[in-house]
Structure 1
Amino acid sequence: MKKGILVIGSLCYTWLAMAQQPADYVNPFIGASTSEGKAGSYHGLGKTFPGAATPFGLVQVSPNTITGGDNGSGYSDEHTTIEGFAFTQMSGVGWYGDLGNLLVMPTTGTLKTIAGKAAVPGSGYRSRYDKQTEKASAGYYTATLTDYQVKAEATAAPHSGMLRFTFPANNQSRIQIDLARRVGGTSVMQYVKRVDDHTIEGWMKCTPDGGGWGNGDGKADYTVYFYASFSKPLLHTGVWSADIPDNWPRKRDDVLSDAYQQRVAAAVITKDIPEQTGKHLGFFTEFATTAGEQVLMKAGISMVSMDGARKNLAAEITGWNFDAVHAQARELWNKALGKIKVEGATNTEKTIFYTALYHSMIDPRQMADVDKAYPGGDHQVHTEAGFVKRTVFSGWDVFRSQMPLQTLINPAVVNDLVNSLVELGDQTGNHYLERWEFFNAYTGCMIGNPAVPVIADAYAKGIRGFNTQKALAYAINSCEKFGNGDKGYTAGGLSISQTLEYAFDEWAVSKLAAGLGNNAAAAKYAQRAQSYRNIFDSSKGWFRPRNEDGSWQPWPAEGRLKAWYGTIESNPYQQGWFVPHDVPGMVQLMGGREKVLADLGNFFNKVPENMMWNDYYNHANEPVHHVPFLFNRLGAPWLTQQWTRAICARAYKNSVEGLVGNEDVGQMSAWYVLAACGIHPVCPGDTRYEITSPVFSKVVLQLDKQYASGKTFTIVAHNNAADHVYIQSARLNGKPYNACSIDHATIAAGGVLELEMGTQPNKSWGQ
Structure 2
Amino acid sequence: MKRLIYYFCFCFLFASCGQKSQISLTSLVNPLMGTESTFEFSHGNTYPAVAVPWGMNFWSPQTGENGSGWMYMYTDSLIRGFRQTHQPSPWINDYGTFAIMPVWGELVMDNKKRGMRFSHENEKAGPDCYQVKFDNGVSTALSATSRGAVFEVTYPSENEQYIVVDAYQHGGSVALDKEKNCIYGTTRYNNGGVPGNFANYFIVEFDKPIVGFGTDENACGYAGFKLQAGEKLTIRIASSFISHEQARLNFNNEVNGRSLAEVSAAAAKVWNEQLGRIKVEGGTNEQQKTFYSCLYRTLLFPREFYEFDSEGEAIYYSPYDGQIHAGYMYTDNGFWDTFRAVHPLFTLLYPEVSGRIMQSIVNAYDESGFMPEWASPGHRGCMIGNNSISLLTDAWMKGIRTFDKDKALEAMLHQTQARGEIASVGRDGYAEYDRLGYVPYPEVPEATAKTLEYAYADWCLARFAEETGNVEVAETYYRKAQNYCNLFYPEKGFMWAKDTNGKWRDNFDATEWGGPFTEGCSWHWTWSVFHDPEGLSDLLGGHEQMAQRLDSMFIAPNTFNYGTYGFVIHEMAEMVALNMGQYAHGNQPVQHAIYLYDYIGQPWKTQYHTRNVMNKLYNSGPKGYCGDEDNGQTSAWYVFTALGFYPVCPGTSEYALSSPLFNKVTLSLPNGKTFVIRADNPSGNNFYIRSVTLNGKEFSRNYLKHEELLQGGEFSLIMDHLPCKSRGINPIDAPYSYSK
Normalising by the residue count of structure 1, what TM-score does the alignment of the two structures yield? 0.85
Which residue does 1:567 correspond to in 2?
A: 517
Within the candidate set 38, 41, 49, 2:47 is matched to 49
Which residue does 1:77 correspond to in 2?
A: 74
Q: Structure 1: any 5+ residue segments left out of the alignment?
A: 1-16, 37-41, 117-123, 181-185, 242-279
Q: Is the 8 A contact 2:96 2:199 kept in 1?
A: no
More strand by share: 1
Residues 96 and 380 (structure 1 numbering): CA distance in 2 closer, same or farther, change over 3 Å? closer
Find out whether 1:378 has 2:321 as its counterpart: yes
Within the candidate set 517, 535, 549, 1:585 is matched to 535
Identity within the alignment, %: 32
Q: What is the alpha-carbon distance in structure 2 between the residues aligned to residue 549 and residue 455 of structure 1? A: 35
What is the CA distance between 1:494 and its match in structure 2? Answer: 0.9
1:413 corresponds to which letter in structure 2?
V
Find out whether 1:686 has 2:623 as its counterpart: no
Of 607-616 and 455-464, deviating more is: 607-616
Q: What is the alpha-carbon distance in structure 2 between the residues aligned to residue 134 and residue 414 of structure 1? A: 34
Find out whether 1:198 has 2:181 as its counterpart: yes
Residues 540 and 605 (structure 1 numbering): CA distance in 2 closer, same or farther, change over 3 Å? closer
What is the CA distance between 1:18 and its match in structure 2? Answer: 6.0
Q: Is the 8 A contact 1:604 1:617 kept in 2?
A: yes
Q: Is the 8 A contact 1:700 1:713 kept in 2?
A: yes
Q: What is the alpha-carbon distance in structure 1 between the residues aligned to residue 402 and residue 665 of structure 2? A: 28
Within the candidate set 287, 294, 298, 1:349 is matched to 287
Within the candidate set 360, 384, 392, 1:420 is matched to 360
2:36 corresponds to which letter in structure 1?
S
1:238 corresponds to which letter in structure 2?
G
Which residue does 1:258 correspond to in 2?
A: none
Q: What is the alpha-carbon distance in structure 2 between the residues aligned to residue 220 and residue 524 of structure 1? A: 40
Residues 727 and 28 (structure 1 numbering): CA distance in 2 closer, same or farther, change over 3 Å? same
Which residue does 2:462 correspond to in 1?
A: 510
Find out whether 1:29 has 2:32 as its counterpart: yes
2:673 corresponds to which letter in structure 1?
K
Find out whether 1:666 has 2:655 as its counterpart: no
Which residue does 1:130 correspond to in 2?
A: 119
What is the CA distance between 1:134 and its match in structure 2? Answer: 1.4
SS of corresponding position for 2:693: strand
Find out whether 1:598 has 2:548 as its counterpart: yes
Q: What is the alpha-carbon distance in structure 1 between the residues aligned to residue 576 and residue 476 of structure 2? A: 44
Q: Is the 8 A contact 1:59 1:159 kept in 2?
A: yes
Which residue does 1:469 correspond to in 2?
A: 406
Q: What is the alpha-carbon distance in structure 1 between the residues aligned to residue 506 and residue 551 of structure 2? A: 27
1:342 corresponds to which letter in structure 2?
V
What is the CA distance between 1:713 and its match in structure 2? Answer: 1.2
1:316 corresponds to which letter in structure 2?
E
SS of corresponding position for 1:715: strand
Residues 217 and 463 (structure 1 numbering): CA distance in 2 closer, same or farther, change over 3 Å? closer
SS of corresponding position for 2:56: coil
Q: What is the alpha-carbon distance in structure 2 between the residues aligned to residue 712 and residue 203 of structure 1? A: 47
What is the CA distance between 1:549 and its match in structure 2? Answer: 3.0
Q: Is the 8 A contact 1:609 1:650 kept in 2?
A: no
Q: Is the 8 A contact 2:459 2:531 kept in 1?
A: yes
2:181 corresponds to which letter in structure 1?
H
Of 492-501 and 460-469, deviating more is: 492-501
Residues 568 and 610 (structure 1 numbering): CA distance in 2 closer, same or farther, change over 3 Å? closer
Q: What is the alpha-carbon distance in structure 1 between the residues aligned to residue 285 and residue 21 of structure 2? A: 15
Which residue does 1:158 correspond to in 2?
A: 146
SS of corresponding position for 1:334: helix
Which residue does 1:459 correspond to in 2?
A: 396
1:670 corresponds to which letter in structure 2?
A
Residues 722 and 615 (structure 1 numbering): CA distance in 2 closer, same or farther, change over 3 Å? closer
Q: Is the 8 A contact 1:641 1:726 kept in 2?
A: yes
What is the CA distance between 1:19 and its match in structure 2? Answer: 4.8
2:32 corresponds to which letter in structure 1?
F
Residues 165 and 220 (structure 1 numbering): CA distance in 2 closer, same or farther, change over 3 Å? farther
Alignment of 1:74-153 (within 5 A): 74-91=71-88, 93-99=89-95, 101-116=97-112, 124-146=113-135, 148-153=136-141
Q: What is the alpha-carbon distance in structure 2 between the residues aligned to residue 346 and residue 194 of structure 1? A: 53
What is the CA distance between 1:217 and its match in structure 2? Answer: 7.8
Normalising by the residue count of structure 2, what TM-score does the alignment of the two structures yield? 0.88
SS of corresponding position for 2:690: strand
Alignment of 1:365-514 (within 5 A): 365-371=303-309, 372-376=314-318, 377-384=320-327, 388-428=328-368, 430=369, 432-439=370-377, 441-481=378-418, 482=427, 483=430, 484-492=433-441, 493-514=445-466
SS of corresponding position for 1:298: strand
What is the CA distance between 1:575 and its match in structure 2? Answer: 0.9
Which residue does 2:610 correspond to in 1?
A: 644
Find out whether 1:230 has 2:182 as its counterpart: no
Residues 537 and 615 (structure 1 numbering): CA distance in 2 closer, same or farther, change over 3 Å? same
Deviations 1:260-283 (A, max 9, x none): xxxxxxxxxxxxxxxxxxxx3111
Which residue does 1:332 correspond to in 2?
A: 270
Which residue does 1:283 correspond to in 2?
A: 221
Of 739-748 and 534-543, deviating more is: 534-543
Q: Is the 8 A contact 1:434 1:442 kept in 2?
A: yes
What is the CA distance between 1:613 and its match in structure 2? Answer: 8.4
Find out whether 1:303 has 2:252 as its counterpart: no
What is the CA distance between 1:538 and its match in structure 2? Answer: 1.5
Q: Is the 8 A contact 1:195 1:201 kept in 2?
A: no
Which residue does 2:475 correspond to in 1?
A: 523
Residues 614 and 299 (structure 1 numbering): CA distance in 2 closer, same or farther, change over 3 Å? farther
Q: Is the 8 A contact 1:206 1:222 kept in 2?
A: no
Which residue does 1:168 correspond to in 2?
A: 156
What is the CA distance between 1:623 and its match in structure 2? Answer: 0.3
Aligned residues: 674
Q: What is the alpha-carbon distance in structure 1 between the residues aligned to residue 254 and residue 66 of structure 2? A: 32
Q: Is the 8 A contact 1:197 1:235 kept in 2?
A: no
Q: Is the 8 A contact 1:613 1:619 kept in 2?
A: no
1:75 corresponds to which letter in structure 2?
Y
Residues 354 and 610 (structure 1 numbering): CA distance in 2 closer, same or farther, change over 3 Å? farther
1:700 corresponds to which letter in structure 2?
T
Q: Is the 8 A contact 1:86 1:102 kept in 2?
A: yes
Deviations 1:671-694 (A, max 9, x none): 100000011011111111111211
Q: What is the alpha-carbon distance in structure 1 between the residues aligned to residue 36 and residue 171 of structure 2? A: 28
Residues 68 and 603 (structure 1 numbering): CA distance in 2 closer, same or farther, change over 3 Å? farther
Residues 560 and 220 (structure 1 numbering): CA distance in 2 closer, same or farther, change over 3 Å? farther
SS of corresponding position for 1:756: strand
